[in-house]
């Protein structure tokens, strides 16, 4: 199993807008793509002093499944224009980890 981790940051004012966009539109759209080997996504949110951090972790069976999602340059972040409009900053590249244990 492969996990794909990505970080994005919004202003405090845009945090709820971004969270709702992720849950109601972006995650739904990813699911509707029916990517073979895609196992789901998790969303984490952390309030900081002057911004809000979001982390997404996606789960895939193989690196080929990641490439089906993100393209041949699979480390490049997949951030729709609508999301970019409310993000303050974000990782340009995602990190990928081989999952070695899950309890």
Is 7 within 8 Å of 77 (Cβ atoms)?
no
| Maximum CA extent, the chain | 40
Please report the pLDDT score of residue 62 as a whole number.
97
Domains of the chain in sequence order: 2-98 (3.30.70.100)
Please report the pLDDT score of residue 103 as a whole number.
87
Q: Which residues of the chain have pLDDT under 50?
A: none
Please report the pLDDT score of residue 15 as a whole number.
98
Please report the pLDDT score of residue 102 as a whole number.
83
Is 81 within 8 Å of 25 (Cβ atoms)?
no
3-state secondary structure of 92: coil
């Amino acid at each position: 199993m492969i996990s794909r981790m990505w970080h994005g940051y919004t202003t405090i004012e845009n945090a709820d807008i971004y969270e709702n966009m992720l849950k109601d539109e972006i995650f739904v759209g990813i699911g509707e793509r029916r990517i073979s080997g895609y196992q789901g996504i998790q969303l984490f949110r952390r309030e900081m002093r002057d911004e809000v951090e979001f982390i997404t972790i996606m789960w895939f069976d193989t690196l080929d499944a990641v490439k089906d999602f993100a393209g041949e340059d699979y480390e490049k972040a997949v951030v729709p224009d609508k999301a970019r409009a409310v993000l303050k900053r974000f990782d340009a590249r995602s990190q990928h980890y081989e999952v070695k244990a899950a309890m």
